[in-house]
Amino acid sequence: MSAAADAVKDLMEKVSAALDLAGPVEVVESDDEIVATLHGEDLGLFIGRHGSTIDAVQHLAQRVAQRAGDSEARVVVDAEGYRERRRNALERQADRAAHDAVRSKRPVALDAMTASERKLVHEYLRDRVEIETYSEGDEPDRHLVVAPADTPAG
């Protein structure tokens, strides 16, 4: 394991211990990505409200990886499949919004999301010619809008 991956694992173990979570940390490394997953039950405290804690840990882990070596690898922090479940929920929400926007011929605003979540939804809906997406508002209330393609973007 690289120094960057070791540093990420060490950070995850320290955060887990500080939160009194007992699960092991698994780190899988490829050429361009380090995925650190905390395993266990009742990981809501680690995930945080709307993923705020896990996103903060991921940001710290990215910094730790960069400082530990010449790693340009993207760091992903997960907890028992949270990232996949969240991605699926966002895609379902995006599908509903796209359907509603086309049916009503009006823009549909989604709830506020993090920048990474907005990017995921933009990319997910990118190839749909009947709609367009754009972001509105200021952090932390910045949200994504799904609009029929013929509606001018904000």
The pLDDT of 98-111, averaged and rounded, is 96
pLDDT at 153 over 60: no
Q: What is the pLDDT of residues 81-98, one digit of tens each?
A: 999 999 999 999 999 999
CA distance 118 to 55: 14
The pLDDT of 92-110, averaged and rounded, is 96
Q: What is the pLDDT of residues 60-78, one digit of tens each?
A: 999 999 998 766 889 999 9
- Residues 25-49 as b or e (16 or more Cβ within 10 Å = b): bebebeeeebbbbbbeeebeebbee
pLDDT at 110 over 60: yes
Domains and CATH numbers, the chain: 3-80 (3.30.300.20), 85-148 (3.30.1370.50)
Give me the pLDDT at residue 96, please: 97
Give me the pLDDT at residue 108, please: 96
Give me the pLDDT at residue 70, please: 64
CA distance 67 to 131: 41
pLDDT at 151 over 60: no
The pLDDT of 133-149, averaged and rounded, is 92
> 52-68 and 3-18 are packed helices; what angle lies between their axes, rounded to 10 degrees?
140
pTM: 0.80
